[in-house]
Structure 1
């Protein structure tokens, strides 16, 4: 139900230069062949409120998917608690080759306003136009708008981090418009030093590409497998047919699957993790479990069932000390 793709191996390859006018005033330039545009909240893999959740949020593509944009250039200015940024970047999503760095001239733009309301409380509002993000739908452009509030509370044996996020895509194609909204509330708590508990509540618009449609007995497109059809393409069709949104109906006529909204999905997640002693000062190891239950519109219940749910058991590794420094950077305003 998430309908998302893996990230490239190289997600960020950038440089940044800061020039300070005074202790509380500076300009900066950020850029490189792969990096984050000034659009959206802190990306979900780097948010302290989602630090232990191993699964991407469903609303990722309405909120912060441009954190892996290519050929990014950002100019920013900070004065006290206020920071303003403007970016240009290449709007196309990464292709199916995960080991390279995407190419393309900057053709999209975004701007973001961030305000540090307090030392542990910040908010952002951002908007941008992403041109031609989908290789399978080259006539599509997207105007994305996001707003979020982030809070971090520290106490003697841990901390509590929370985020409230809204993201909205307005897709533009041949004069028509379609709108997708997403809403997240996520909270993660570290307590008694080695224990983590978190929750995530989501309400996200989804589209009809998640629904099956009739196909001829021998499908000629990989998409048939992706959306869950019983029949799989032959080996020959994998080699001669591209992966796209066009399949054949029972009469053999090409059918294009448009990403039209069909309703909203609700997802409710609860997780727990325990850090394990490994005897290595540089390694932090955790064993966790996470459960999610979903609320679906009627169309999707015929595919996924009335009350679908998932359980994930995972082993988490990261360099010791990395998280605390990372959280300091995420919740301070330079």
Structure 2
């Protein structure tokens, strides 16, 4: 409990300090040139080419794209996506700080139908600094710093989440728990060059970072921001978002982007404070398409060498496809939807599929959200006895979550929300002895996060 209170105090102090610095650094109003005012809720950011030179504002990997298209790693969001954060400017640099922290109580298997549920008070969290500046007239330098204090608030074994699997603790697989994220979840640099308004190229290096595979990671998707839980399909889509050693080369051709990565396949080890060894033994490729300001589509494939520490002999071929939709509605409301599919295939094992559909509707201070998942879990994923269940058995799991969040306070461009959600799992009959029939989950939380950046260009 002391750790949670300390974390909350640290974040509150951080937000106050950022806001004070922001107000201190704001330039005086200059009536001799057109002003760029905060107005409306369109979610669009002016391009760097349209801005004064002392306010470099653009996408992280292109001078010609709006900042709203920034996702996680080098992934794309729709241009109409909302952005929540604090903006700071200097003469040549633009900085943005954003993050998410939940102080919550979660209870998995509230009816005690099985033996694998658990409950606890915890605080999933992350914070991120983005910075960029122009290099000459066509170049852009950018860096990201992302940290998480999960290891302090969640412990080494993470938080309870039925049917979740991935990584390990004390040389045992983590099952029915979401692992904590590393203290340094991203330290990356990139350089991009604009050949024309429709063509640019970039190079990205992260230690750690995120390779070009899967959709935008769940903690950065607008459709998932109010949900404290990681998807149980996390390791079918965006499980590589913390990779110790990744290099990506990409090129944008108008509405399309093609990129390839080499990276370390092994997932982070149990020490959440160190920097794991770089190996660059895996690869991936991704094709992204933005047909309009409301859509971001991608397909990707990758070979991941020995991702799990406890099964070093297993390599994974992962294929994903996703569609993200975002649109403003009337009266400062908006809707965000994500649909994705992932396939993990190891040699001499059947392919394991996962499907996720999640959505969120913002109605002024209230957000309604839901998530549906269908995931094929194996004996290995659920840490089951192969003699009893059969070595190659696949267990389909359906999970449905619905929740509501309400902003209690909006002070100094910082919001405090209260929320809760309810989940139900539909599992295979053969797992009733461990999980019961249709186990239930519930949680309540307080959420602290930055306000919406309502940037719109007006002359």
Class of the TM-score when normalised by the shorter of the 2 chains? 0.7 to 0.9
Corresponding position: 1:194 with 2:365 = yes
CA 259–202 in structure 1, closer or farther in 2 if over 3 Å, else same: farther
Q: CA deviation at 1:40?
A: 0.2
2:343 — aligned with what?
Answer: 168
3-state SS of 2:268 partner:
coil
2:191–2:203 CA contact under 8 A, matched in 1 = yes
Query: Which shows bigger deviation, 290-299 or 313-322?
Result: 313-322
2:379–2:385 CA contact under 8 A, matched in 1 = no
Alpha-carbon distance in structure 2 between the residues aligned to 1:15 and 1:259: 43
Q: CA deviation at 1:259?
A: 7.6
Alpha-carbon distance in structure 1 between the residues aligned to 2:367 and 2:390: 41
1:211–1:303 CA contact under 8 A, matched in 2 = no
1:240 — aligned with what?
Answer: none
Corresponding position: 1:157 with 2:319 = no
2:435 — aligned with what?
Answer: 304
CA 260–312 in structure 1, closer or farther in 2 if over 3 Å, else same: farther
Question: What whole-Å deviation, never above 9, does each CA across 1:275-304 have from its counterpart, x for those lacking one?
Answer: 1115x3142111110110010001221111
1:46 — aligned with what?
Answer: 220
Number of equivalenced pairs: 279
3-state SS of 1:302 partner:
helix
Picking from 392, 399, 408, the partner of 1:267 is 399
Identify the structure with bigger relative contact order (alpha carbons < 8 Å, sequence gap 6+).
2
Picking from 420, 426, 429, the partner of 1:295 is 426
CA RMSD of aligned residues (A): 2.1
Q: CA deviation at 1:258?
A: 9.6
- Unmatched 5+ stretches in structure 2: 1-162, 167-178
TM-score (norm 2): 0.58
2:309 — aligned with what?
Answer: 135
Corresponding position: 1:3 with 2:165 = yes
1:262–1:299 CA contact under 8 A, matched in 2 = no
3-state SS of 1:177 partner:
coil
CA 103–302 in structure 1, closer or farther in 2 if over 3 Å, else same: same
1:289–1:314 CA contact under 8 A, matched in 2 = yes
1:208–1:261 CA contact under 8 A, matched in 2 = yes
TM-score (norm 1): 0.79
Q: CA deviation at 1:104?
A: 2.2
